[in-house]
Amino acid sequence: MDYYAHTVQIALFALLVALILRRRWDSIHSIPTIGYSLPLLSYHSAFKFLRNARQSVEEGYARHKVFKIATLDRWMVFVCGPEMNDELCKLPEDVASFEEAVQEWIYAEYSFGAPEYNLTIPAIHGLLVRNLPDVIPHVVDEIGLVFEELFPQEYWVELTNLPNFMSNLAARIVNRVFVGAPICREPEYLRTVTTYATDVIKTKVILDLIPKPLKPLIGNMLPWRARATRLLKHYLSADIADRQMRLDESSCKDKPDDFLMWLAKAARDSGGSMESILTSILMVNFAAIHTSSVTVTSTLFQIASQPEYIAILREDILDAIKAEGWTRGSVNSMGKLDSFIKETQRWQGSGIGTLPSQVLKTVTFSDGTIVPAGVHVHAAQAATYRDSTVYEDADTFKPFRFSEKREQTGQSTRHQFVSTSPEYLIFGHGKHACPGRFFAAIVIKIFLAHLLLRYDVKMGGDGSLPENVTIGTSTILSSKAKVLFRRRQFAHA
Ligand code: HEM
């Protein structure tokens, strides 16, 4: 027992020293600080940031265009407001790099492999942007099955731990498109792709503690990536080999046009192997599942706590599908549902910072602030959403704020959920804006539309919106909130 306690003490001490050494103290003094900037006192601010990042960032946003906050292992620099967000987005990749920031944040090289074999983005552009209408019938079919199999059929039934439940549903639905049926329903496959996010965090915690020269050695020894790709190989290698073989067939008849085919094509064009295709499957799941399920769950909490909007949303959905059923056009024209989802993300403001960028060459922002190389800069997303100079009545939830704007002449596309701008950063903005957002929006809207047409929904307990928990910049949706569902007698869809 003594030995155990001693080991824990040494590990904690090593962690503290590693964190202190990682934080840079030089050449960053001129950037205004929220909290303390003196070495030891700054840890007081870092712990405050861990508990209440939202308040610290809002304080900085109210006072500065650019400011810094101490976290346990680094200084985080935030830029404030749409103009500064735009400046950050427009910095060239060799000056402020998204890829380097992500690499350092999740150690992408060890969690997902060498970036030169990233086949995900070309495959997303090929199938999930250009050929999105072809994908919709599969999404509708899988969502229909999910409701029949996994949702209550009568009376009011309470579902708990909705974030977890939705994460499993999101995994199944997006994988209907990524890898097809029946693999998208295999429990072992789904467990692997949904829990890989936790493996990425484990990789991060370990590599954060390791000195830089040893990271490649240790990073390549960590077991999780190899274990997950082995399992994916078991389920997918035959289908991938089939796509690779049929790539060069001259006849287009019966040639599958699915996500695996697009990955196989991207692999052939860039010299990637079967291994790189499997890693891309892991990566696309990592990008898609958590983000989509958080968006659905937060919107569902909002709907359930304000059920007075359900009738308006149902009418919007029925109007859209009555002429042509579930198509890209009809889903796009669900303007009120689109606005409700978009406003929920603005109002709940779950992402405190976004547009992660690592400065590679010293940057001078337009307000004169100089940010040296090596520093991580973010846009103060949640604070932008509560800025009354950017959003009228910023502190009020106005579900149809964006659909009303879209009704004005010339504004029909600008305020869609998928439209990014320096004011609205849920999907990022600029050169790295989320390429999967069109697919994500279609899945989220079809899911919520089916739910509203088939079910009555209300919040349990006192009926109020559940409170999210924030740890540092991460927001965690309540797993204790109770939402009740009752199948409607004359359900549509
Ligand atoms: C509601 C769901 C989603 C949200 C909120 C979301 C959000 C984001 C954000 C904030 C970024 C970073 C952009 C930046 O910083 O400028 C991003 C990047 C990315 N997302 Fe999404 N995403 C979602 C769904 C998806 C889906 C379904 C896919 C795949 C089909 C996907 C694939 C990607 C990829 C590959 C990138 C990296 C882009 C690059 O490196 O240039 N995302 N996403």
Q: Which residue lies with its CA nearest to atom 24 of ligand 1?
A: 288
Give kind and range of the element (H or E) at residue 233: helix 224-246
Name the CA dihedral angle for 257, 259, 264, 265, rounded to a multiple of 10 degrees: 60
Over range 58-79, report the average pLDDT: 94
With the most atoms of ligand 1 within 8 angstroms of its CB, the residue from 100, 262, 434 to mutate is: 434
Say how many domains are in the chain. 1
Average pLDDT over every residue of 394-399: 97
Q: What is the dihedral of CA 448, 453, 454, 459, to 10 degrees?
A: 60
Whether residue 117 is predicted with pLDDT greater than 80 in this model: the reply is no
Is 190 part of any domain?
no
* 434 carries a ligand binding annotation: yes
Q: Which atom of ligand 1 is nearest to the CA of 429?
A: 16
Q: Is the pLDDT of residue 125 over 90?
A: yes
- Which helix (H) or strand (E) segment holds residue 111: the answer is helix 108-112
409 in any annotated domain: yes
Q: What is the pLDDT of residues 126-178, one digit of tens each?
A: 999 999 999 999 999 999 999 999 887 778 999 889 999 999 999 999 999 99
Of the two residues 26 and 54, the one the predictor is more confident about is 54
253, part of any domain: no
Using a 10 angstrom Cβ sphere, with 0-12 exposed, 13-18 middle and 19 or more buried, the burial of residue 115 is exposed
Report the percentage of the chain scoring pLDDT > 90: 74
Candidate from 294, 416, 424, 427 with most ligand 1 atoms within 8 A of CB, to mutate = 427
Residue 1's pLDDT band (cuts 50, 70, 90): very low
> Average of pLDDT values for 209-224?
91
Given a cut of 60, whether residue 24 has pLDDT beyond it is: no
pLDDT in tens, 291-323: 999 999 999 999 999 999 999 999 999 999 998
pLDDT at 343 over 60: yes
Single-letter residue type at 462: D
Quick one: what percent of the chain has pLDDT higher than 70? 93
Residue 67 has pLDDT above 60, yes or no: yes
Q: What is the DSSP track for 373-425?
A: TT-EEEE-HHHHHT-TTTSTTTTS--TTHHHHHHTSTT-TTTTSTT--BTTB-
Residue 312's domain comprises: 2-84+115-170+283-487
Residue nearest to atom 15 of ligand 1 (CA): 355
- Higher model confidence: residue 430 or residue 209? 430
* pLDDT mean over 184-196: 97
Residue 203 in any domain: the answer is: no
Calpha distance 194→414 (Å, rounded): 33
Mutate to test the pocket of ligand 1, among 291, 338, 358, 424 (most ligand atoms within 8 A of CB): 291
- Residue 294 CA, closest ligand 1 atom number: 1
Instruction: Flag whether 155 is in a domain.
Output: yes
Instruction: Taking residues 340-344, report their average pLDDT.
Output: 98
Question: Which atom of ligand 1 lies nearest, measured to the CA of 432?
Answer: 41
pLDDT at 370 over 90: yes
Q: What would the pLDDT profile of 222-271 be if each residue is shown by its tens digit?
A: 999 999 999 999 999 999 999 999 987 766 667 788 999 999 999 999 98
Q: What is the mean pLDDT of residues 458-466?
A: 93
Report, in angstroms and rounded to the nearest whole number, the Rg of the chain calculated over CA atoms: 23
The answer to whether residue 119 is domain-embedded is yes
CATH of the domain at 341: 1.10.630.10
Instruction: For residue 397, name the pLDDT band (cuts at 50, 70, 90).
Output: very high
Q: Give the residue, 199 or 117, on which the prediction is more confident.
A: 199
d(CA 373, CA 397): 39
Mean local confidence (pLDDT), 354-380 = 96
Residue 306 falls inside a structural domain: yes
How many angstroms separate the alpha carbon of residue 13 from the centre of ligand 1? 36
Q: What's the pLDDT score for residue 254?
A: 72
Is 42 inside any structural domain?
A: yes
Between these two residues, 73 and 325, which has the higher pLDDT value? 325
Cα–Cα distance for residue pair 106/104, rounded to 1 Å: 6
